[in-house]
Amino acid sequence: MTPIEFNKPTGSGRTRPAIVTCETAEGDIVEVVAKFSAGCDLGVTSLAREVVAACLAADLELPVPQPFLLEISPDWANIIVDAGYRELVARSSRIAFGSKYLGNQYTAWSSGTRLLDDMVGIAAAAFVFDCIIQNPDRRLINPNCLVRGDEIRIIDHELAFAHGQILFWRPPWQLGGLNVMETPGFHIFRDVLRNRNIDFEPIGAAWRSLSDDRLRAYGAAVPGEWSAEGADIDSALALIRDARDNIDGCIAEARRVLE
């Protein structure tokens, strides 16, 4: 999709995202929350991880905002009035990652948010998802989760799939592989899911249904401009594949940390 208007920075977020109005190839106008590589700690690696996580979440039927890739032209970057943001976009990859802007209809999850019975299944699936992709960024201090009534939307996965950089890392299907999830405040859903009646069978079934062809499609969805991040993408896909093949162990470990 093509950006046509820079609306404003969101005002929050480590990656300095911005709300941008874009036009799709079909001529539809969509507002997105855009992330540019120069605003990310790991540059296009962070954006590639977002793409893989978004593809995986969609196949698992998890509630993520619709993802997009934005093609940034130098001419568009030059019209940004904010000089600091104009410079950030100019230093970034010509491809940015975006997700559909949900407006003001959703609010951020907080420590006082109640997990309603109708939300338990989705929250449990999101918890297992984060456990597997090694997402450390759904904490009480930075929930990256939006709520409206009994609806949940999970966002921001650029820090996932960093398992290769963790000393003495253990995979999530091994005993102790999810010890970090027991840390108070580390994950917003851990405490609210404890002592709840959770049906893990649909979660396991969704993971088992992931085909190798679908996993290859996740890699193919990463823009060629980011091809230098191939090793990181391969590592992410290998983790997903191994977790799928060991999903019973992943669920057993998730159950353990929810006890």
Residue 169 in 3-state DSSP? Answer: coil
CB atoms within 10 A of CB 102: 15
Query: What's the confidence (pLDDT) of residue 165?
Result: 81
Query: What's the confidence (pLDDT) of residue 123?
Result: 98
Query: What's the confidence (pLDDT) of residue 28?
Result: 94
Strands 67-71 and 107-108 come out as: unpaired
Cα 170 to chain centroid, rounded: 21
**How far, in Å, CA of 131 to CA of 251, rounded?**
9
Per-residue model confidence as pLDDT tens digits over 87-144: 999 999 999 999 999 988 899 999 899 999 999 999 999 999 999 999 999 999 999 9
Token reading at 218: 């996740």
Please state the domain extents for the chain.
2-100, 107-257
Cα distances (angstroms) measured from residue 241 to each of 173, 181, 188, 248? 12, 21, 26, 13
Q: Which residue has the tokens 């977020």?
A: 13
Note whether 190 and 98 are within 8 A (CB): no
Residue type at 8 in one-letter notation? K
Please give the CATH number for the structural domain made up of 107-257.
1.10.1070
CB atoms within 10 A of CB 97: 29
Query: What's the confidence (pLDDT) of residue 49?
Result: 96
Note whether 76 and 40 are within 8 A (CB): no
pLDDT in tens, the chain (259 residues): 999 999 999 876 678 999 999 999 999 999 999 999 999 999 999 999 999 999 999 999 999 999 999 999 989 989 899 999 999 999 999 999 999 999 888 999 998 999 999 999 999 999 999 999 999 999 999 999 999 999 999 999 999 999 988 888 999 999 999 999 999 999 999 999 998 999 999 999 999 999 999 999 999 999 998 977 788 999 999 999 999 999 999 999 999 999 9
Element (H, E) at 60: none
